[in-house]
Amino acid sequence: MHLMRRNRIILLFGLLCLTSVVSAEDSIVHTNVLKLKFGGCYQMDTYLSPFAYTGLQGGLCNGWWQPFRQDTRLGRTGRLANWAHVGRVDIRLGRQTSAARSNRISGFAIEGGWGAFYRWRWIDNRLQLLAGPYLEAGLGVRNIASNVNKPYSFDLSAEVMAMAGLSWSFYGTKTSYRLHYLVRTNLIGFDYMPDYWQSYYEITEGVPGMARCSGHWNHHTLKHELALDFQFPHSTWRLGAEHEYVRYGTADLHFVRNQISLVVGCIWNYHIKANTRL
């Protein structure tokens, strides 16, 4: 009886060691993309001013892509083999001026999101189509130079979005290239904005603004990007363009943001091995 128990313990210990070695040698590849963005922006915020403003905006974005961890019961060709997920954090700064150059708006925004998608792959994985849900939340703060009662405007939103993309990889002698397109649009969520008749001082005194359910009927968001990745022997770079169109509001309050940016970024892959000695 004691011999059988000892053999079971030895067998269990061996299986644990084998699983640890396999997970360390076959850990999931993480892809990180760090991008700089700079371009033009058209903006309207009728809480601050009834006029449209145009100018420049720039930002920093970090995104990551990786497959889901494979369950040993499912295997590499199991139900999770074609599923992956993506996340990103986006920070933007901008300044726009009115057509008469008599006033300006400065703004700051931060957005974060996470999504999961299924990949259809053809031609030795060179052609890929992806689709899935995406969750995004964002906060925007704007300041207008000349407005005593309403110098600041801010909004908050969280949305469930639909995401789709297409990529095509092709190869040179010592280089690789990938052309890809990604689009996201909102389905349903909520947004928060100040009331049109509410002054800045009332906001600081705790007078609530407007929180509501949002969707295509009152908050339209469309974001898409087109990029070409260049993989050289020791580095991988991205060059592309991103376009974002956002329109929402009420009968008295209108927000519009239409911006296009040139994107330059770098890409690297890495493994995480939790049981590696420090």
Q: Who wins on pLDDT, 236 or 80?
A: 236
pTM over 0.75: yes
Q: Who wins on pLDDT, 16 or 71?
A: 71
Place of tokens 């057509």: 99
pLDDT at 189 over 50: yes
> pLDDT tens digits, residue range 122-165?
998 899 999 999 999 999 999 999 887 788 888 899 999 999 99
Domain 29-271: which CATH number of 2.40.128.100, 1.10.357.10, 3.30.450.40, 3.40.50.1980? 2.40.128.100
Confidence at 270, pLDDT banded by 50, 70, 90: confident
Q: What is the pLDDT of residue 172?
A: 85
Confidence at 21, pLDDT banded by 50, 70, 90: very low
Q: Do residues 194 and 153 lie in contact, with contact meaning Cβ atoms separated by under 8 Å?
A: yes
pLDDT at 8 over 80: no
pLDDT at 40 over 90: yes
pLDDT at 115 over 90: yes
* CA 55 to each of CA 99, 104, 145, 154, 248: distance values in angstroms, whole numbers, following the listed order: 10, 9, 15, 19, 20
Residue 138 CB: number of other CB atoms within 10 A?
19
Place of tokens 């996340």: 87
Tokens in use for 151? 């110098």
Q: CA 113, CA 61: separation in Å to the nearest integer?
A: 11
Q: Where are the domains of the chain?
A: 29-271
